[in-house]
Chains A and B, each alone.
Chain A
Amino acid sequence: MSRIASRIFSETPVSRRLFTALGLALLAAPAGLSPAAAQMSDLKIMAPAAPGGGWDQTARSMQQAIVAANLARSVQVTNVGGAGGTIGIAQLVNGAKGDGNQLMVMGYVMVGAILTNKAPVTLEQVTPIARLTEETEAIAVPANSPLKTVQELADAIKANPAKVTWAGGSAGGVDHIAAALFAKAAGADPAKINYIPFAGGGEALAAVLGGKVTAGISGYGEFDSQVKAGKLRILAVTAKTRVPGVDAPTLTEAGLPLSITNWRGVVAPPGITAEQRAALTGLVEKMAQSPAWQDILKQKGWDGALMTGPAFDAFLKEENVRTTDILKSVGLVKP
């Protein structure tokens, strides 16, 4: 019997850690004698999306880990959904200026959404705090596809970019950008790619399985179980290094100098002091190293990719420049 099945009959395990955390918080609060340097008072995390999506899950997982590690007295998650996160970021910049207790979850998708939506508020206006997780993209074909290697796909796209149909997530999203970068690296005109956006990776997966398109491009997690069931073949992953457990080369190994991942991170409002920024960064760093966060990463299948300080600032700028270029070349952003 598997671990899951044996748990079915067992009694509900009570979270001892949660209780300890609650108990500590209750003890600390009225006395005001908490180790103030290490603990923040009331932290707010905004998920700029509806409940349920990746950003929301990230925010709620952070809440869980921060409470478990006793890094803040209370953590409140709010959802401000819409338009790829551009409504949330506008609210962060206009409504929470100078608030040192506020964080907002964001990610690569927001970089693209700000450009394609011509959003009035951009990431240059916020205070970057940290990158937390990343997920590699993967290129998959149906098991009966004639394409065996990623070079063959690159050759096909070089010969006639329009004849290679791609299925992936929304237009201008990370899947679309990865497909465009792939075409560019293969020596084809990225403006000519035949990318067919679907509502989320799931519907795209159905199109790949049904053999309706040449190849699918999406987060590796979407393909994982179908690969194990032998219905799909992964031609390549887009991360810098090989992904453990995935029998496919990186694009760089295959001779296409390119790497791209779908990352998520957190930012703070503009106008906070250097101390406030340091405190938030410290909190996020401690959270990312906590066992609770490590557990969550394992459960959700996310890869930890902590990056803070000047490195994250530079990373954010770089991603913005690269994304602007590629979105211009596929015609999603008018030059």
Chain B
Amino acid sequence: MDTFAQLLAGLSIAVSPHNLLFALAGVLLGTAVGVLPGIGPALTVALLLPVTYKLDPAGSLIMFAGIYYGGMYGGSTTAILINTPGESASMATALEGNKMAKAGRGGPALATSAIGSFVAGTIATLGLTFLAPTLVEIAVQFGPEDYFALMCVAFVTVSATFGDSPVRGLTSLFIGLALGLVGIDKLTGQARLGFGMPELLDGVEITTLAVGLFAVGEALYVASRRHHAPEQVEPVRGSLWMSLDDWRRSWKPWLRGTFLGFPIGALPAGGAEIPTFLSYAIERRLSKHPEEFGKGAIEGVAGPEAANNASAAGTLVPLLTLGLPTSATAAMMLAGFQQYGLNPGPLLFADHPQLVWGLIASLYIANVMLLVLNLPLVGVWVRLLAIPQPWLYAGILVFATMGTIAAKPSVMELAMLTVFGLMGYLMRRFDYPIAPVVVGIILGPVAEAQLRRALSISLGDPMVLVESPISATLLGIAALALIAPFVLKGLDRFRAQED
């Protein structure tokens, strides 16, 4: 088997002590920056590029891949422990993960996220190894109308899943959609809702919104409740490790998350947000313990985490085969390739097989390293929860502010962080779900741009939305997801009357 032989050759390159060292440095750095909000893997790679310029290409690319994977792991740690997602991709993890941590189950939450990431990362890297050339052929066939249909599926499932009532979920989603309109319209270049402030022209920074809503809002809420009924946080209850039941409840979400994350991550405009939220929605629907969702269900951590890591491997498909960066970090890695005069694309596999297969092989190794690195750390991390609440939340506020300043040093950004923090507090106080806001701001502008592109290409004919088989299928799924709950409810009532 040709691919297999090449992979073995790649492995022999990746396990050279020198490259193992690079992989280790990468995953350590990646985990560290993933833990800090605001400093993502993209910025880290950007800062390292000039430093690595003189190093050999294989080593530094292996290190970049380590940073990328490590960032995905690290981002979920803060999401679970202090409800502050380091990246937008770990937002879905924060929903159940933090609830688990507060109920003393932080250990199992971190473990299922680490092992799930490992499983997903490994399967997805296998997918990258064997399916990349085929997958990319399919991926470029995805037109604007198909993306729009995919967004519709995401909107429907997300708004139907979050919150106690669909109206509250939809309200939150529309707040997010409105915030997503701020900035320069991508298709006409006109400013919308900018109020003459140049800082607003690039739109609302997603990390600022997420950190404001999740971390600052949470801190304010906890402070406001302190004298009523202080929330009991138990650092550890039961075993620090996953019980047999936890394993039983985790393995299917891991696999489902992988199969959502990898293909969507491989789409040129896919990203990690859609699969993580879709996975969350699906797990909630399929779970045998739906009542636990919102209180700390392990499926809600296992699925999104797996989806998150699988999509990271997915983004390498268009990057390596087309030279198409589909995430900020992938764009930085592309710059990394170019600084060595390598152009990712259809010829990269043919021209530099040792390099490509060395990189792919090192992804397997980075996965193993991350697992070995993260599992023992679980015990250390959960200690964080034993810190007295006022100190912990003061620390979170400092971190949130620092992260925001690091990402975009401006007064305006801090003002927005405060406003979003207050908004997060009010939404918690009045029981509106927070996640749909973030989904709205991320996916809203994309959905809008894709719809307008589709109509622009079809010269205004709306039939284009149902003529493509992919889009028609996806829209069908969306419609089904929207109507099914009502129909089922009606059937139940009908049966109840029969009895």
Contact = CB atoms under 8 A, between A and B. Distances in A.
A binds B: yes
Contacts of B143: 207, 210, 212
A301 B59 CA distance: 22
B423 interface: no
User: On chain B, which size bracket covers the interface?
Assistant: 35 or more
Contacts of B141: 210
A213 interface: yes
B46 A52 contact: yes
Contacts of A116: 184, 189-190
Contacts of A194: 456-457, 459
A18 interface: yes
Among A8, A14, A224, A229, residue most surrounded by chain B Cβ atoms (within 10 Å) = A8
Contacts of A170: 186, 189
B140 A209 contact: yes
A222 B340 CA distance: 16
A165 B344 CA distance: 27
A117 interface: yes
Interface stretch (B232-240, B318-326, B478-486): B318-326
Interface residues of A, number: 63
A56 B139 CA distance: 30
B144 A205 contact: no
A296 B328 CA distance: 23
Contact of B324 (A13, A63, A205, A229): A205
A224 B324 CA distance: 12
A332 B13 contact: no
A39 B110 CA distance: 54
A64 B53 contact: yes
Contacts of B202: 81-83
B188 interface: yes
Contact of B347 (A60, A119, A229): A229
Interface string B40-71: 00110111011001111111000000000000
A170 B4 CA distance: 41
Given A4-B342, A299-B339, A196 B457 contact: yes
Interface in A168-221: 170-172, 194, 196-200, 202-203, 205-207, 209-210, 212-213
Interface in B312-357: 318, 322-326, 328, 331-332, 335, 338-348, 351-352, 354-355
Interface in B182-228: 184-191, 198-199, 201-202
A83 B46 contact: no
Contacts of A332: 188-189
A14 B56 CA distance: 10
26 contacts: A5-B354, A7-B58, A8-B13, A8-B354, A51-B47, A57-B335, A81-B202, A81-B408, A171-B186, A171-B187, A202-B268, A203-B269, A206-B139, A206-B324, A209-B322, A210-B143, A212-B144, A213-B457, A225-B323, A228-B347, A229-B345, A298-B341, A299-B341, A300-B338, A300-B339, A332-B188
